[in-house]
A and B are shown apart, each in its own frame.
Chain A
């Protein structure tokens, strides 16, 4: 989809641009990730509002997570989450085996140390979406082998 290419490229530029600015300025990696995450948060809030305008009310937390895995993920990344696990006590693990933002980067362990930068925005996206649906959350990401991530 043409839109996807545009978003992918812009996302990569954003990450690169922010880190480049940080290198020239005060140079603190943590702040860049925070900035990206907060950008994702804002976008997630807006996006989920527009997306759930006409959908029915969610029954419970699990319902919301399923919505995120299926509809939301499909709308944003054109595919569903491959695996959703939970311990029924508030912790959910979403696994995507071919994360769109990482497929172009590598298919294995190369560049693994750079992967977290590219996941910060998406973490914020999920956190923003959940926050507007009434759930306070902490979202973290883990990449063990590109392009799969949790």
Chain B
């Protein structure tokens, strides 16, 4: 069967669209099930956490990143390798604290909101992409880095860019907990 050229590209696009559309349907369903925005946000975060703890295995298997020696290296890897691999975008990283344990990932283009124009009026405090926060948190926890991940700015709420803040809570325990 002769196929038009560029079909592979299309499949790749469809794959991503499937994910984005499914995510949209998921958020819509959660909004129907829960009345309060905080409940939806918590649910998304919890789901993201569950995905993150499993995704980290997949990520480490596919990429050949070496052990990160510092928080800033970790943040760089998340932005440049992980985001690129799974969402096809590369956020820029900036360190926002003197102590060196708070970073922000700034996304110009967020593929998850490709089909979303705006949040409905009654859902003003919904963090649409809260799943991402959970994913990052879960993945980091599986490599023994406790972190708090939240949205600092959200394009859907009128800010200029989407900004995810990662705050590492404890010192990286790389000496004591050696992986065997």
Complex partner residue of B19 from A10, A40, A70, A75, CB under 8 angstroms:
A10
Which chain A positions have C-beta within 8 A of B26?
Answer: 10, 14, 39
In the assembled complex, the Cα of A65 lies from the Cα of B141 at a distance in Å of 45
In angstroms, how far is the closest chain A Cβ from the Cβ of B23?
7
In angstroms, how far is the closest chain A Cβ from the Cβ of B28?
7
B15 engages A47 (CB within 8 Å): no
A75 engages B14 (CB within 8 Å): yes
B29 engages A35 (CB within 8 Å): yes
Given A3-B86, A39-B29, A10–B22 Cβ distance below 8 Å?
A: yes
A1-18 vs B, CB cutoff 8 Å, 1 = contact: the mask equals 111111101110110111
Given A10-B23, A39-B22, A75-B10, A3–B50 Cβ distance below 8 Å?
A: no
B25 engages A39 (CB within 8 Å): yes
Is B51 interfacial (CB-CB < 8 Å)?
Answer: yes
Instruction: Give how many A residues have a beta carbon under 8 Å from the other chain's beta carbons.
Output: 32
Is B85 interfacial (CB-CB < 8 Å)?
Answer: yes
B15 engages A13 (CB within 8 Å): no
In angstroms, how far is the closest chain B Cβ from the Cβ of A14?
6
Is B89 interfacial (CB-CB < 8 Å)?
Answer: no
Which chain B positions have C-beta within 8 A of A149?
Answer: none
B23-63 vs A, CB cutoff 8 Å, 1 = contact: the mask equals 11110110001000000000100110011001100100010
Q: Which of B16, B22, B55 has the most CB of A within 10 A?
A: B22
B28 engages A13 (CB within 8 Å): no
A10 engages B86 (CB within 8 Å): no
B11 engages A75 (CB within 8 Å): yes
CB neighbors of A among B84-102 (8 A): 85-86
Q: How many A-B residue pairs have CB under 8 A?
A: 90
* Chief secondary structure at chain A's binding surface: helix
In angstroms, how far is the closest chain A Cβ from the Cβ of B167?
24
A76 engages B54 (CB within 8 Å): no
B25 engages A2 (CB within 8 Å): no
A43 engages B22 (CB within 8 Å): yes
Which chain A positions have C-beta within 8 A of B55?
Answer: 5-6, 9
Q: Which of A42, A75, A121 has the most CB of B within 10 A?
A: A75
A17 engages B47 (CB within 8 Å): yes
In the complex, the chain B residue whose C-beta lies closest to that of A7 is B19
In angstroms, how far is the closest chain B Cβ from the Cβ of A20?
9
B51 engages A10 (CB within 8 Å): yes
A16 engages B50 (CB within 8 Å): yes
In angstroms, how far is the closest chain A Cβ from the Cβ of B81?
11
Which chain A positions have C-beta within 8 A of B28?
Answer: 39, 42
Q: Which residues of B contact A (CB under 8 A)?
A: 1, 10-12, 14-19, 21-26, 28-29, 33, 43, 46-47, 50-51, 54-55, 58, 62, 85-86, 115, 131
Q: Which residues of A contact B (CB under 8 A)?
A: 1-7, 9-11, 13-14, 16-18, 21, 35, 38-40, 42-43, 46-47, 50-51, 70, 74-76, 78, 121
